[in-house]
Each structure stands twice: as structure tokens, then as C-alpha cells.
Structure 1
Amino acid sequence: KVLPGFASLVDAPLSPRAFMPTSPAALRLQAAYVVRNDDPAGSEGRKIVEVNSGPDGTLSTYDQVIGRYRPFFLRAVDTHALEDVLLVDAKTGTIVYTVSKRIDLGASLTSGPLSNSGAARAFRRVIEGGGVPGQTVLEDFSPYIPAGLRPSAFIAAPVLTDGNLTGILIGVLSVRQIDDFMTFDGRWDNVGLGKTGEVYLVGANDLLMRSPSRFLIQNPEGYYKALKAVGVDAETVAKIKHFGSPILAQRVDTLASRDGQKGLSDTQIVEDYRGVSTLTSWAPVSVQGLHWIVIAQEDEAEAMAPVQDLRHSIMVVAAVAAVLLTAISVLLASSFTRPIHAVLAGVNKLAGGDESVRIAVKGRDEFAELAQAFNAMANEIAERTARIDQKTRDYEQLLRNIYPDLIADRIRLGESSFSERVRNVCMVVIIIEGFDGLVGGGHRDTLERINTLVGDIDEACNGAGLEKIRTVGETYIAACGLSTPRLDAAQRSLAFVAQVDTILERLARSYDAPLSARAGVALGDAEVGVVGRHRLLYDVWGPTMLQARRIVFDAEPRTLRVTSAVLQQLSVRDGFVQMPDIVLFDSTRV
């Protein structure tokens, strides 16, 4: 069912035996799940066998084990718009579970036909990175056999059990989200790209497209005809037709892509991949080690249409003036044609790319009106070019904004590590008692109350010189000394906790609700970086964060617990009582 779907895309004959798993366990998995699917290649709308039960309805051992985690995998696919999720044994490289139940279920990423796939490269990168908590890797698009050789990108993260690397979770990214983002959901006109404008991504290493072409979406036959006209071979066109996408098939070898490959940005009138002259802006972008080029363009004919219309009007006026010149004196002729020459000179400069040219308006005659019309058109062209430049910068900034400032410089230098250790950081974890009652009390102004509560705490956090990390339900996490070193991080953190207690007392009276806080503060080193599978987020982790979260767990309401490292930094230690040591998961005593 799978191999015939892409047999025409490869040169050598395909042997089904080469793609079959070799271990008995993998054979049983594929027999129970993959063979029973109506489309193992993974098309949309196919029926997936999720549970394998015996004749008496009892679940298999495999389903009993994996059943408790299946909702998590399904939720990850839906929430992050993934095409599939693979769970891989870190020791053997065997894919032990997939949501889509394709032929990679039970296959090995260390040997066999999938050992050189993008999923295998993502697997090896996690292993080589040590499988540390919070580690994520992103692998560029490449053909994936279980998906019928459709281009697929992968994001991977380690799965740890008691601090040991036991598995690797690999998400197969859906190209539809990138497509929708780069094509504005088909609303090009609404974002100022006219009838021929588009924005697309190109791989810097191979100059192949990483997002769709507007012309393929709107007029497929015209798109294929344009590719053939510029010499694209029939095999490439057939590949684009087969997948319905130019990703990893359409080569963009233009001045814009070659300059972007060199790390250059510019705006010029150049030929695009269709051989059409376009007003184009381009810039290089980098995302987690992936090097792409973003290109925004509009056909020159559309972008420069106001100039051509103005040139036509000027030529008509010039012809009329020439007839009149035969009936007047040379002196009057010189005076009469001077404004026309000024306008014509301006048009020629504008057509030559000088968008700053403007014509001085003198008098109130027809030539003054013509000069005003020229200046208006020149302003419109300059504004359109500026909008295209701004959109290009916005797309580049949008991709870069997913990273915090703390590690942005290291990413620009091309480092493959996306985390950094910061020393002497105070981590503050506050649990707001009574928060659930505030949320579930059925009050009509619940949202307003929550916004007031979190907003007041945010202001106190900023005022104390701390940085908010995140808020999850009743838990508020902040840090001091993360971006800016603080010698008094401990004092600032405790002052912030005291302000939170005051805020909760005030709001408890105002809302007639029992609100209080218990807090934990720990001092030490912290790891900061980027985490997440689809929506990348700035986060903090490490022993210091674990200590702060652990000591607040057993704290009584309106109680502050601190580690000994915090206490040593305080000049006044009155009011603190020594508590029994707490043993963390790695046997560390706090």
C-alpha cells in the first residue's frame, strides 16, 4: 500500500522486504496496527487503528501499557498541529509508538531505511546533546519514507525517568502551519501584496523552497507552464504535481536567493524563479540552526504601473505641445517646454530606480498640476517600496523574537546550543491559596478579578527588580539576577514576597475571599533557554528552580521557606526557623 505511492519518484526498483522490520516485536506491531490501516502512507481522512484487542475484547499488553499515555500523545498532535508524534527508545533507537500508525512503527532509526531520515538525525542530535532537561532540536525538511516521501520537518526532545534518558519524543511538523503563515491564509491583497505579490522561504544550503508559491495555489496550470518556460525539467514538475507543493522540489536560483545565501539583505528589481521581473526584497533568517532566506516580491509591471500610466499622459501632453510650438516664437517655445522637460526628466529618473526624485511645482497651470500628479505617484511608489521593506524586516524579526535577548547573540554566531547557565539567581515560587475559589466562584467579574490580581503582582515584581517567568494557575514564578546581576537578589526576592502578601490581604478584603500565599525562595545557578515543540517559549530550569518548587510544596499558608544559601545572603535573619532537610529526586538534601 505504501511503496506504489512513491515508486515513480525514485530511480531504483523498490523491494518491500527492505522496508519490513526485522525484529519479531516490530513485526507484531505492524501486523496489529499498520496493516489494518486503510492508508499506511498517512493521507488526510484515513482511518487509524488505535487499539488492538483480542477476540474476547481484552486489550493487548502493549495497549495496556501505552493506553495511559495515549491521551497525551493525541493532545500533543491536536494542540501543536503536528502531523505525527513518535516515541523512540533512547537505547535501541526503535520507534515504539506513533499516533499515525505508519510504517515507521517498530522501525529502527539506527539501521535500515530510516537511519538517514530527518527523524534519525533529530534522534542522534538529542543523544549527542546529552539528553538534558529542556533540550529541543529542530531538523529541516527532508523526504520521509513513511509519509510517502513527502517533505517533513522534525522537532525532538528527551524523555527522562529519574534523571536518566530513557526515550526521545519526536514531533513530525505539519507544513500546513508554515504554508498558512507565509500565504496569509490566501489573503495577499489584504496585506498590500496586490495581485502578484508573495512572500516565501528558501533554504540557504540548497536554494530549495520551504513554503508554497502563490501562483501554484491560485493557478496551478499557469505555474507549471511558467516553470517549463524557464527550463525546469519534467521530473521536477511531476514531483511538484505529485505532492501538490514545491517544498524541496522547486529550486530558486536568483540574485535574491544567492545574496541571501551569503547573508546579504537588499531590495532590487530582479528576475524571480519564473523568469518574471519583480520588485524584490530579501534577507537571511536563522531558526534553531536552520538557515533560510525570506523573500518578498511583486511583479514589476504591477509595482511600477503608476509610473507607466504617468509616462503615457506626459507623452500625450508633449505631442500637443509640439503642435503648438510650430505656431509660436522660439522664445515662447523654450519657456513653454521647460516644465515638460522637467517632468520627463523626473519620470526617467523614477523609472531608473531613483524614488527620491520630486518636481518643483511652480504656478497654477496645467504643468503645475502635472508636476503635482507626478509627485503624488512618486510618493505612492516610495511608500509601497517602504511597505515591502518593512514587511521583510517584520518577518525576520518575527522569527527572531521567539528567542530571549540573553541568548540572541549566541544564536547569531551560529552556536548550536540554546541554553545558558546564569550564576547567583534567586528563584521565587509563590502558590496563591484560594485562587481556585476565586476562579470557580461563579462571579460575573471573575476575569476582571484575575487580571487585577495578576496585574498587581506583576507590578510588584517589576518594582522589586525581578523578572516574571510564567504564571500557571495558582503558581507564580519569578527570578532575580537573571538578565541583570543583583548583589541583593535575596533581599529583593523577600521584599517581593512581602508585597505579594500585602496585595493578597487587600484583595481578600475587597473580594471577601480567603486569599493567602506560601512561597519558596532558592539561590544558585539556573539554566535559561528556549523550550517547546511548536510554540517556543523562554523558560528557566535546573537545581535552583527544583529547590524553590520543592520547598514551597510543604509550606503552610502565609509561610515563606528559603534555602540556606538565601539565608546567608540576608543581613537580618530574624523570624526564620530551621526546618528538617528535604531530599530531592537526585538524593540532594536541601
Structure 2
Amino acid sequence: MKFFSRLSIQSKLMLMLLAVSIASILVISYVGYTSGKEAILENIYYQITELRNSRARQVQSYFNYVQNHAITLAEDPTVIEATVSFTDSFNQLENEEVSSNMISELWRFYEKEFIPRLQMNVDGNPTVLSYFPKENIARYLQYHYLVKNPYDVDNKSRLDMAQDGSKYSEIHQNFHKFFRSITTRFDYRNLFLVDSETGNIVYSVHKDTGFATSFKDGPYAYSGAANLFETLQNNRERGAFEVIDFTSFRPSYGQPVAFIGSPIFQQSNLVGILLLQLPVNEINRIMTGNFQWKKDGLGKTGETILVGSDYLMRSQSRFLVENPDTYFKELKKQNISDRIIQRIKENNSPILLQEVKTNSIEKALKGEEGLGILDDYRGVSSLVAYAPLKLSDNLDWVILSKIYVSEAFEPIQIFGKRVLVTSAILVPIVTILSLFLSRRLVMPIYRLISGTKKITSGQSNVVVTVPSDDEFCQLAGAFNKMARTIDEEKEALEEQIRKNDALLLKTLPAPIVKRLKQGEEKIADKFPHVTVLSANIVGFDEQCDLMSAEEAVGLLNDIISAFDDAAQRHDVEKISTVGTSYLAASGLFVPRLDRDKAVIELGLEMLRIVRAFSQEKHLKFEIRIGIYSGEVIGGLLGKQKFIYNLIGNTAKVARFLMIVNSVEGKPNSILISQNLYEPLQEFYQFFKMGEIDIPSQGKMAVWLLSDGSHKK
């Protein structure tokens, strides 16, 4: 505050303008930032929530569709007929010969084709013995439909009929195209017909190592498909439906597979189980929006994923698709094992491999639905909308939509950067404008200050002009009025000073007046060579009784004024006037060699003045003068009323000579001492009066001088 108080008004105004402007920018920016952030947050929450709900509805719709399709297929007469035919022809193969050569070739198929591919997707070291079929029928059919199938492993379904001449192959030729078209048209990965009594897979569209094996005692009796078969076998309700979650299915080389099944009834008899093997492709297509995340408004980092109750992913990761290098680097940072990372790379999918155990997943698995800013499965802070997704009694998933916080708030961050840039541009502009405006605002003040300084320096007629019609104009008007008043008062004061000076000069010697004006309070000087004249108009007081007061005072004033004029002409200093007494001196303030002669000349003129006035007024009064020369002391006396007077022996002797002249001398004469007679005798004709006893001087000769005593 002390620093602020020391600043000029212009600086204060500029700082206040800057403070208000910057504060306004900050407030507007803060309000805009927070409002924008809230609006963006609300909009993105709405968007990801709507997307989550939409994807959930699509997944539910897909499973409902597959459910209805499975039930419909199970009730289809062609499927019922095919199931019965395949079961009967399958059982007829029990006595077919399986040679050692067939077994060897089948073994090599497992060893060369199946095990290497399976090994990439499962832990441990799978062996042929663990998966090699033990039943004769399974070996027979796998030999003809796998080993002798001319198509590669991924296209075994293209074989319509094996060349073994069996009834089974004839039936296979009759129904295989129908079932193959179903899997192709509805994008099922496989379709199984299972004997409801034995659990034998009597038919499958895509031939793999599970074909012709039993879900009851075969190598895959503990798979998810086997569990689904057992559930449906025990249910025995027409139109029943069951689904099994994605699990690693070994006949599909350990790939994640989900199964949907429905029982097949011929009239009231359960003749088989229909199993549809669901691929992840359709679910991935739904969850990724057909891999068009940006078109769904998910920007660069948004996605929707499914997670199972085991915390493993059930859908594809966007980051694996779009930026796999970064994706795998982040997996390593999360301490995921190299084996899992390698399997994700080989499968190009994190399904059933990547664990997603976050707060949002935990809450959703508890049945909660919500929104929040939470870490995603990559450990990145994201806006997340999560909810449980129940597809069946034993299929509880979690669906969540998310987008990175950094991307979600990118517009507001851009806004913040723009605000900073704009502020960086605006602050200098505001500073310049503040400087300009403050200068404009205080310019009248500067003019008033300049006018005040002029008045202070003694200038008069100061006028301040302000080119506006506001409070400053009013202030300037008041200042100009004050200046005129001061000027007038100054002139009046100067006039009064002049009058006072004139009055003082009439009362006091000019040098004394000057010293008095300079502030001297005690004025006293000793002068070594001064000639003093002391005069008194004798008989004037008696004549006053014959005149009015005005006439008496006027006459005396005229006589004294004539004395003053004469003293000025002879350069003799008037000292004082008291009544009819007059005191003057020469050589007092300015040393003079002719001071004695100047005083004599003044005295002679005073004689003529008095004679002239007495004759003119026909009055009887005369003047008697005493003159003496020597050392005197001059000083200013009085406090309220000043008088400059001479004291000391010289002034005393001059007054004494005037008194003696008044008593013993002649009318209208001058009485001088011996010390004046000697230097002046050659200029004037003196008349010796004799000797008188002068106080403190003793006997002294004195001389009379009257008008007309000049020597020719």
C-alpha cells in the first residue's frame, strides 16, 4: 500500500485499468473454461452413455436373434430329419475297419496340423495322446473328413462327401450344403448335431478334431460345449435355450468360442442337441461399430468393450487394431506376462486373454450402473459409462464406453491455450490503451498542476482550458475563478503593499523600510559621521486656537510636506516628525563629505518655507533650528507603531541647540556648534552668539545663521 500511495494518479489509473481488464479477462476465461468443461463433460457423458446403451441393446438383440434362430432351427423338420439320419448312420460305422495305416496318418495330422496350432493358444505342452480319439467311429470319420479331405485346415467344410462309400457319407452329402449355407449366411463359426443319448458329435459343418468325438467321455468332455450339452440334455424341454460364455475351445485351436444350444425333438422324443458355435466377429462388429469408431463420435481414443465376470475381455480392443505397437508397449508396462502378450499378438485379439480389473468393472459386476472419470484397462484416466449386461441366467457381462479425459477435454484445453494467447496479446494492448486513457484522463490534472505552479511562481492571469464538458471542466472553471480571485487579491495586495511602502517611506527612512521588509526585527546601527538637524516651529501651537482643526492640521501638513520636499532635494534623510518638531540627518545611511553643507542648505530653505507660510496665512510663528555633527545611534523603536529615531550625544546636542535657539536666539535662525562653523565659515556669514554650557560637552562656542547669510 505504501508503494501504491507513492504512485502518481496516472500510474494508479493505469494500474487500476490494467487490474480491471486483466481481472475481467480472467473471470470471463474462468467462467468460459468451467462452463465449457461442464458442457463438454455433460455432452460426452450423454454420448458415451447413449453409445453404451445402444451397443448393449445391439448385443442383446443379437443374442435374442441367435436364441430364436437356434430354437427355430431345432424345430425345423430338415434339422430333425438330419439329426435322426446322422445318428443312425453314425452308429452304423461302429464295425467299419480302421487300419493301422489310417491311424498313423490320423496321428500325423494331429502331430503336424493340430498340435502346433493349438500350442500357440494354450499354456503348457499339449500332446497328441491327450486329444487323439479313442473310439473307432471317431477315428474313421476324422480320417476320411480330416486326413483325406483335399482342402486345407480352414476349409474342410467344403467337402460334401467322403469317398468311403458309407451310408453316413451319403447322408452327409444330402444335408451338408444346407447346414453349410446356414453357417455361412448367419455367420456361425460352426454347427453341431449331437446325439442326446451318447453325446457323440454326429455332425459338424466345419470339420475339426471335435468332430465325431463324445461330449460325455471324449477328449473334450470338460469343455464349455460339453457343459452346455449336459445342461440341455438334463433340461429336456421343447423350445429350451441355453448359452455358454466364451471359453477356449480346443478343437478350434484354443480360440475363444461361445455356444448356443437348443434340444431337438422328434415328436415327444429328444433325439439330439443343436449347438451353434458363435464367433467373436459379430460381437466385435457390433462393439466397434464395424471398426468405425470416429463415425460413432468416439474420436481418437474412445471405444466400447465387453468384459466377462472373470474380468477378461469379450470384445476387440481399438488400440490393438489401430496402434498395436503402442498397445503392446503399454501391456508390458502393466506387467502382463510375455506369454499372454505373445498369444494376443498371434490371435490379434485380447479376448479371454487380457484382464480388465478396474473400479468401473467391479461396480458393474455388482449390478451398478454409472458414470465417472476412472482409469481404463490401460491405466489411462478416462470418462467411463459402465453398466451390467445380463444376456442369460449364466451369462453376466459388463459393457462400458469410454474416452480418454485428455481427448474429451481437448477442446477446452485448446480454448484455454487460445485464452492464454489472446490474453498475451490483449495485455500489452490493454497496457497501451490504459497508458493512453490514463494520460487522457489526467491531462486536465496536469494542466491544473501547471497552472498552480504558475500561480505559485508569481504569475498572474493564469487560465487553464480543458477540452471536455465533465467534472474536470467544472474543476478547471473553479480553478480559473480561484486564479482570477487570487490575481485580483494579489493586485489588491500589491496595491496595498505599495500604499504601505509609501506610508512607511513617509514615516521611516527608505533603507530602514527595506530592512524591515526583509524581516529584520531589531534594527540598530551606529554611524560615526552624521550631521543632525533638529527644528521646531515656535508659536504654531498658539496660532491653532485661531483656526479650525482641519485648517490647523492642513497647514502643518503643508509645512511638513514642504520640509520633506526640501530634504529630498538636498538629499537629506528625514528622521521623524513629532508635532511641530522635525528631525533630519545627512550621512546617516550614505556617507557624504558635504553632509554639513547639505544640512545647512536644508535648514536655510526651511527658514524660507516657514516665513512664506506665516506671511501667507498672516500668522505669527517662526522656526528655530539646531544643527550638530558627530556620532549617532539610529534604531527602530516600538512594536505596534514603528518610529525610527536617533539617540546618542549628537542627537541630544542638536536638540539642545534647537532649544537654546528657541529661547536665546533670533527668530527664523539656525544655531550651530563650533565643529560646524570651522569648515563652513568660508561659505556662510555667521554671527557669533557666544558660548553656552552644553551637557556632557562643557563650554562651546555657538553661531547663528539666518536666511541670506551666504557669502558672495
Residue 8 of structure 1: how far off its partner (Å): 4.5
Structure 2 residue 156 is matched with structure 1 residue 52? no
Deviations 1:111-158 (A, max 9, x none): 23311111101101111222x221111110000111000000001111
Residue 172, structure 1, aligned to residue 277, structure 2: yes
Residues 17 and 268 (structure 1), Cα distance of their counterparts in 2 relative to 1, 3 Å cut: same
Q: Following TM superposition, by how much is the alpha carbon of 1:66 offset from its aligned partner in structure 2, in angstroms?
A: 3.6
Q: Distance in 1 between matches of 2:401 and 2:410?
A: 18
Query: 1-side partners of 2:302 and 2:198: how far apart?
Result: 49
- Larger % of helix: which? 2
Q: 1:282 aligns with which of 365, 368, 386?
A: 386
Find the counterpart in structure 2 of residue 135 from structure 1. 240
Query: Residue deviations 1:464-516, cap 9 Å, x none?
Result: xxxxxxxxxxxxxxxxxxxxxxxxxxxxxxxxxxxxxxxxxxxxxxxxxxxxx
Give the whole-Å Cα distance in 2 for the aligned partners of 1:299 and 1:282.
15
Structure-to-structure mapping, 1:569-580, within 5 angstroms: none
Q: In the alignment, is residue 155 of structure 1 matched against residue 260 of structure 2?
A: yes
Would the alpha carbon gap of residues 10 and 174 (structure 1) be closer, same or farther in structure 2, given more than 3 Å must change?
A: closer
Match of 2:203 among 94, 97, 101: 97
Aligned in 2, Cα 1:191/1:329: closer, same or farther, shift over 3 Å? closer
Partner residue of 1:452? none
Q: Distance in 2 between matches of 1:317 and 1:77?
A: 62
CA shift for structure 1 position 44 = 4.3
Query: How far apart are 1:308 and its partner, in Å?
Result: 0.9
Instruction: Report how far residue 163 of structure 1 moved.
Output: 1.0
After superposition, the Cα gap between the structure-2 partners of 1:314 and 1:65, relative to the gap in structure 1 and judged at 3 Å, is: closer
- 2:232 is matched with which residue: 106, 126, 133? 126
Contact 1:260–1:282, Cα closer than 8 Å, also in 2:
yes
- Looking at structure 1, the residues matched to 284 and 120 of structure 2 have their Cα atoms a distance apart, in angstroms, of 26
Range that drifts further, 73-82 or 279-288: 73-82
> Which position in structure 1 is the counterpart of 2:330?
226
Contact 1:133 1:158 in 2 (8 A): yes
Task: Please say if residues 263 and 283 of structure 1, whose CA atoms lie closer than 8 Å, have aligned partners that are also in contact.
Answer: yes
Residue 320 of structure 1, CA deviation: 5.6
Contact 1:151 1:248 in 2 (8 A): yes
Q: Does 1:302 align with 2:414?
A: no
Residue ranges of structure 2 left out of the alignment (5+ in a row): 1-112, 439-712
Shift in Å, 1:38:
6.2
Is 1:23 equivalent to 2:135 in the alignment?
Answer: yes
Where 2:259 maps in the other structure, the secondary structure is strand
Aligned amino acid, residue 20 of structure 1: F
Q: Is the Cα contact below 8 Å between 2:246 and 2:257 reproduced in 1?
A: yes
Label 1:231 to 1:263 Cα distance change in 2 as closer, same or farther (>3 A). same
Name which of 291, 312, 325 aligns with 1:208.
312
CA deviation digits over 1:547-586, x for unaligned, max 9? xxxxxxxxxxxxxxxxxxxxxxxxxxxxxxxxxxxxxxxx
The alignment's TM-score, normalised by the length of structure 2, stands at 0.43
**What's the secondary structure of 2:192's corresponding residue?**
strand
Match of 2:398 in 1: 293
Taking structure 1 as reference, are residues 207 and 38 closer, same or farther at Cα in structure 2, changes over 3 Å only?
farther
- Decide whether aligned partners of structure 1 residues 138 and 39 sit closer, same or farther in structure 2, where only a CA change above 3 A counts: farther
Which of 372, 393, 407 aligns to 1:268? It is 372
2:293 maps to which of 188, 195, 209: 188
Shift of 1:95: 0.7
Q: What whole-Å deviation, never above 9, does each CA across 1:181-212 have from its counterpart, x for those lacking one?
A: 11111211111111211111111x21111000
Contact 2:157 2:180 survives alignment (8 Å): no
Residues 38 and 48 in structure 1, CA contact (< 8 A), matched pair in contact too: no
Task: State whether residues 200 and 296 of structure 1, in contact with CA within 8 Å, keep that contact through their aligned partners in structure 2.
Answer: yes
CA contact (8 A) 1:208 1:249 kept: yes
Alpha carbons 1:108, 1:115 under 8 Å: kept: yes
Name 1:80's counterpart in structure 2: 186
Aligned to 1:251: 355
Give, as a single letter, the amino acid of the residue that structure 1 aligns with 2:145: Y
Whole-Å Cα distance in 1 between the matches of residues 151 and 340 of structure 2? 25
Q: Distance in 2 between matches of 1:107 and 1:327?
A: 90
Q: Distance in 1 between matches of 2:138 and 2:116?
A: 22
Residue 632 (structure 2) aligns with: none
- Report the Cα offset of residue 18 of structure 1: 2.2
Question: SS at the partner of 1:106?
Answer: coil
SS in 2 for 1:206: coil
SS in 2 for 1:51: coil
The aligned amino acid for 1:280 is V
1:324–1:5 Cα change, 3 Å: same
Task: State the TM-score, normalizing by the size of structure 1.
Answer: 0.52
Q: Match of 1:14? A: 126
Letter aligned with residue 27 of structure 1? R
User: Is the 8 Å Cα contact of residues 36 and 49 (structure 1) preserved in structure 2?
Assistant: no
Summarize the Cα distance change of 1:99–1:145 in structure 2 as closer, same or farther, 3 Å threshold.
Answer: same
Offset of 1:9 from its aligned partner?
Answer: 4.3
- Using the alignment, how far apart are the partners of 1:151 and 1:225 within structure 2? 24
Preserved CA contact (<8 Å) 1:208 1:252: yes
Task: Detail structure 1 runs of 4+ shifted over 6 Å in the superposition.
Answer: 324-330
Report if aligned partners of 2:120, 2:346 keep a CA contact under 8 Å in 1.
no
Change in 2 beyond 3 A, CA 1:189/1:13: closer
| Partner secondary structure for residue 81 of structure 1 | coil
Whichever of the two has the greater Rg, that structure is 2
Aligned amino acid, residue 171 of structure 2: V
After superposition, residues 560-575 of structure 1 pair within 5 angstroms as: none
8 A Cα contact 2:216 2:226, kept in partner: yes
CA contact (8 A) 1:37 1:47 kept: no
Instruction: Check the 8 A contact 2:371/2:385 in 1, yes or no.
Output: yes
Change (3 A) 1:45 1:104: closer
**Conserved in 2, the CA contact under 8 Å of 1:33 and 1:50?**
no
* Structure 1 vs Structure 2 CA RMSD: 2.4
In structure 1, runs of 5+ residues without a counterpart are 334-590
Matches within 5 A, 1:400-415: none
Seq. identity, %: 34
Kept in 1: contact 2:183–2:191 (CA 8 A): yes
1:316-465 to 2 correspondences below 5 Å: 316-319=421-424
* Amino acid across the alignment from 1:285: L
Query: Could you say if the C-alpha distance between residues 38 and 183 of structure 1 is closer, same or farther in structure 2, counting changes exceeding 3 Å?
Result: farther
- The separation in 1 between residues aligned to 2:202 and 2:399, in whole angstroms, is 37
CA separation in 2, counterparts of 1:324 and 1:71? 81
> Partner of 2:377: helix, strand, or coil?
coil
Task: Report what 1:199 is aligned to.
Answer: 304
The whole-number CA distance in structure 2 between the counterparts of 1:167 and 1:227 is 44
Code of the aligned partner of 2:205: V
Distance in 2, matches of 1:128 and 1:47, equals 30
Aligned counterparts of 1:187 and 1:10: Cα–Cα separation in 2: 31
CA distance 1:52–1:294, shift in 2 (3 Å)? same
Contact 1:140 1:153 in 2 (8 A): yes
Relative distance call for 1:62 and 1:73 in structure 2 (3 A) is same
Partner Cα separation in structure 2 for residue 67 and residue 299 of structure 1: 54
Match for 1:52: what amino acid?
A
